[in-house]
Structure 1
Amino acid sequence: MGLRIAGHIERLNGKELTYQEFVERYLRKNQPVVLTGLMDDWRACKDWVTRDGRPNLPFFAAHFGKSRVQVADCGTREFTDQKRVEMSVSEFAEHWLMGWKPEESEIPTSDRPPVLYLKDWHFVKDYPDYVAYTTPVFFRDDWLNLYLDCYRMHMDPEMYQETDDISCSDYRFVYMGAKGSWTPLHADVFRSCSWSANVCGKKQWLFLSPSQCDLVFDRNMKNCVYDIFSDASEMTFPGFKETIWTECIQEENEIIFVPSGWYHQVQNLEDTISINHNWFNAHNLSWIWDLLSKDYDDAKEYIEDIRDICDDFEGLCQRNLAANTGMNFYDFLIFITRFALAYMGQLYYLLRGDDDTIQHSSLTVQQLALNLASIRKVATKMKDAEGFQKHRDILDTEETLSDPKFSELSIKIGNAYRMMLEPSPLSYYTAKACVDVLGDFDFLKSWSPVCTPGDLVSCIDDAVENLNRIGSKNNIHLGELV
């Protein structure tokens, strides 16, 4: 069955695009775009590429060869993904250098070694002192990775293990694959958005907009098409024939923005190295809750027949949700509560400052208020979720505010927004600027623990009322934004 391909993805020079323009034209509208001109000074584009533009595999073997990585066998399906094996980077490089090339078609299929694709390598975590690249400004409002730099995703000790897939250390990855390696059809983890930068090589992307995603599932909405070129039988996937795809060929030194909920299948047209981040923020936070809610219903339905004999049915549902999706309801509530507290503290500091501080930080104030509005909207949707009934305290506010990890998160958040939004950032070497990026949490310390989404909504409402009184002297009213 041939694919119907229509439309195109805009390609722009990233140096000629402001952050606000990116937000208005692409992030807020959930539209993909290709950005050029942003990788010129990346160390990866020099060290990782040979003079003829191919992956510098000997460099990887020599400098990073001991790292253990997950490698997909592109020719072997395992459940809904490709079969994964673990090996060292040096072993992977050796396999690639000795492997069959797609153009050598005279070699019988049975004699060809598998096409391997190194995926999800946590390179930044493995080599924090090797600065391979700089995250473009458009993608720095990254709640997911800012959080995981400071906290584990799971607080439940029964869920956490240092090396398991659930306790993912971050969502910053390096991918490496020979011509012909590929990734099956999927939407990104948590329904986050992503950005992917080609250090070398060329990729073909086939995109399907969220409005058509139901068409790639079977009649029961349980199983998704695996390979759009060979796996979409009309009997199993009756809606697939109605799909309309958008194709994009991504060249070397180009970055593609993949919005939330867009299904995509990707193939390496040349030997390729790419850097990839998954991320989300206020603009797509609701996508994450919607996925968690749907996956919770699926997890509950799957074990419904043991409800009457299960001592902790709800706890089992939440553990299964975390295992299948990457977080559960409580992980997500703790996540958004910590961010809400951080944003409140920074707003309190900024709004009670002098006129110069307010004027200098006006865009940051607007962004922080938008963030609170997004968190409040999602928490309001969460209030009626079955999974939050009769549960223990989630987060002690005073304990959180005194936690060094929370201070670290607040500083990272403050620095990120000032780099993105303020035209002439304050020097971070002064004591005043240190408070500026950390925030001021005195007015939060008397609040009760957050036990439910309703508690978080009340917490935000109380804070906004407080902040509006403080901001009124500068004619700033957060209530209009929140």
Structure 2
Amino acid sequence: GEAVVPVANCDVKEYNSNPKEQLPFKEYVKYWKDYIKNDYHSSRGCLYLKDWHLSRAFPEQDVYTTPVYFSSDWLNEYWDAVAVDDYRFVYMGPKGSWTPFHADVFRSYSWSANICGRKKWLLYPAGQEEFLKDRHGNLPFDVTAPNLQDRRVYPRYSQSQPPVEIVQEAGEIVFIPSGWHHQVYNLEDTISINHNWVNGCNVAIMWCFLQDELAAVQREINQWKDPKDDWHLQCQLIMKSCTGIDYKEFYNFLKVIAENRISVLEKGLDEEASAKNTPKAAISTLGMLHAVFDLKRTVKVLTSLSANEDFKKLDLTSLSPPPEALLHHLKAAIDTALL
């Protein structure tokens, strides 16, 4: 009850999201009970507990087990390894709480499991968001807002396809593909578990997203470009502040994923390690061929990263092992595994 949780006010727009505050969990539960008793009204607005890192806050509690279908999860595997963050969240909100229009971090996949309650999802396949931008290139806050019909503001809205609409019941899991923008409503009092995740099937999409983000930053501050200064480093810094990662950390991300799989391929996994809830145990469960598949996808993206001109401008001497050495090790591990 004393845990501090992030709570968004669904009745207020701040830039293109809802403003958040930090509340003790027990205070939020009391608010929620009072909100229900008052026929879902409060002077504080409609508050939604969202993006709560429950697993990270209480690592000793075995709160739930990730479904095997989603267990190849590079994103959380990496952030667990560096012990900085994770992308596992709990959402708890009353009827009427909602999440504005968005796509997920790094253009990752996401899955959402309803523990109780019902959600309505409005899903737009990747690419449809281009038709929903206003004349300045900004996406809407609320994709159901009447002003999207105004061609002077949203000139391409009429070209968009209707969203895929899903009603998710308690006990059901929704999978969101990479790049699918969505807006979500709680039709009842709802508790859900949500993960963002990346693996060998969409890591190339993540890499494309990072390149697009860096290019956008470079365009924005191009007028201050000076070949003599550290402009390219400033671009990386700004990109990381916006997205949560820069090119050098993306390299380390690929390295951690690769080394975990190489370790399993080269050394195997003893019975004690297999019984533990660790990334290497998950790799072993998925099988050796899956580990090889992951390494092949890593090689492809790492090769592209190593050849990228913006990456080569960075000080790569701090990277260990160097990209060329890691690539060589990856290819050798794949060849050995396939013998």
What TM-score, normalized to structure 2? Answer: 0.87
Of 14, 19, 31 in structure 2, the residue corresponding to residue 78 of structure 1 is: 14
Deviation at 1:103, TM superposition (A): 5.5
With over 3 angstroms needed to count, the CA separation of the structure-2 counterparts of 1:239 and 1:283, relative to structure 1, is same
- Which of 122, 134, 140 in structure 2 is aligned with 1:225? 140
Other-structure match for 2:240:
322
How far the C-alpha of 1:269 sits from its partner, in A, is 0.3
- Counterparts of 1:400-439 in structure 2 under 5 Å? none
Q: Which residue of 1 aligns with 2:32?
A: 96
**Amino acid in structure 2 at the alignment position of 1:83:** P
Partner of 1:142: 73
Equivalent-residue separation in structure 2 for 1:80 and 1:455 (angstroms): 43
Which letter maps to 1:237? Y
Selected match of 2:55 from 124, 131, 144:
124
Is residue 392 from structure 1 mapped to residue 316 from structure 2 by the alignment?
yes
Q: Structure 1: how far apart are the matches of 2:287 and 2:33?
A: 49
CA distance in 2, matches of 1:81, 1:310: 38
1:146 Cα offset (Å):
1.7
Q: Which residue of 1 aligns with 2:64?
A: 133
Superposed CA deviations along residues 277-318 of structure 1, whole A, max 9, x for unmatched, are 111110111111111111111112222222229732121111
Q: Structure 2: which 5+ residue stretches go unaligned? A: 269-283
Partner of 2:272: none
1:451-474 Cα shifts (integer Å, max 9, x gaps): x4x554344334444x1xxx5xxx
Q: Report the 3-state secondary structure (helix = DSSP H, G, I; strand = E; otherwise coil) of the residue aligned with 2:63.
A: coil
Specify whether residues 302 and 102 from structure 1 end up closer, same or farther in structure 2 by C-alpha distance, changes over 3 A only. Answer: farther
* CA RMSD, 1 decimal: 2.3
Question: Does 1:311 find its partner at 2:229?
Answer: yes
How far apart are residue 243 of structure 1 and its match? 2.2
Q: Could you tell me which residue of structure 2 aligns to residue 254 of structure 1?
A: 172
Matched AA of 1:66: E
1:13-66 Cα offsets, whole Å, 9 max, x none, are xxxxxxxxxxxxxxxxxxxxxxxxxxxxxxxxxxxxxxxxxxxxxxxxxxxx21
Matched residue SS, 2:193? strand
Contact 2:129-2:139 within 8 A present in 1 as well = no
Residues 225 and 237 in structure 1, CA contact (< 8 A), matched pair in contact too: no
SS class of match (1:130): coil
Matched, 1:286 2:204: yes
Secondary structure of the 2:7 match is strand
CA distance 1:113–1:386, shift in 2 (3 Å)? same
Query: Following TM superposition, by how much is the alpha carbon of 1:99 offset from its aligned partner in structure 2, in angstroms?
Result: 2.5
State whether structure 2 residue 95 is matched by structure 1 residue 179.
yes
Amino acid at match of 1:234: R
Q: Provide the rounded CA distance (Å) in 2 between the counterparts of 1:283 and 1:187.
A: 18
Q: Per-residue displacement from partner, 1:300-352 (whole Å, max 9, x unpaired)? A: 222222222973212111111111001111111111012212222322335xx
TM-score, normalising length from structure 1? 0.62
Aligned twin of 2:287: 364
Q: Cα 1:122–1:373, aligned 2, differ >3 Å: closer, same or farther?
A: same
After TM superposition, list the pairs within 5 Å mapping 1:367-382 onto structure 2: 367-382=290-305
- Partners of 2:18 and 2:182 lie apart in 1 by 15
CA distance in 2, matches of 1:235, 1:385: 39
Residue equivalent to 2:128: 212
Structure 1 range deviating more: 252-261 or 182-191? 252-261
State the one-letter code of the partner of 1:457.
Answer: L
Q: CA deviation at 1:392?
A: 3.0
Is the 1:321–1:327 contact (alpha carbons within 8 Å) kept by the matching residues of 2?
yes
Using the TM superposition, give the Cα deviation of residue 362 of structure 1 relative to its aligned residue in structure 2, in angstroms.
Answer: 11
1:295 equivalent in alignment to 2:295: no
Q: Percent identity?
A: 38
SS of the aligned residue for 2:144 comes to: coil
Per-residue Cα deviation, 1:417-469 (whole angstroms, up to 9, x for no partner)? xxxxxxxxxxxxxxxxxxxxxxxxxxxxxxxx31x4x554344334444x1xx
Change in Cα spacing, 1:243 to 1:101, as seen in structure 2 (3 Å) is farther
Q: Distance in 1 between matches of 2:61 and 2:257?
A: 29
Question: Within 2, Cα distance between the matches of 1:385 and 1:342?
Answer: 25
Please identify runs of 4+ aligned residues in structure 1 that moved more than 4 A.
Answer: 100-104
Q: Give the Cα–Cα distance (whole angstroms) in 2 for the partners of residues 378 and 313 of structure 1.
A: 25
CA contact 2:111–2:173 (8 Å) conserved in 1: yes
Answer yes or no: is the 8 Å Cα contact 1:190–1:291 preserved in 2: yes
Q: Is the 8 A contact 2:306 2:312 kept in 1?
A: no
Between the aligned partners of 1:264 and 1:375, the Cα distance in structure 2 is: 28
- CA–CA distance in 2 between the matches of 1:243 and 1:126? 41
Letter in 2 for 1:300: Q
CA contact (8 A) 2:112 2:174 kept: yes
For 1:84 and 1:296, locate their aligned partners in 2 and report how far apart those are by CA, in whole Å.
Answer: 27
Structure with higher Rg: it is 1
- CA separation of 1:384/1:80 partners in 2, compared to 1, >3 Å: closer, same or farther? farther
**1:341 maps to which residue?**
259
Contact 2:48 2:94 in 1 (8 A): yes
Is the aligned partner of 1:236 residue 2:106? Answer: no
Confirm or deny: 8 A CA contact 1:376 1:456 kept in the other structure.
no
Q: Which residue of 1 aligns with 2:45?
A: 114
Distance of 2:61 and 2:36 partners within structure 1: 32
| Map of 1:10 onto structure 2 | none
What's the offset of the Cα at 1:202?
A: 0.5
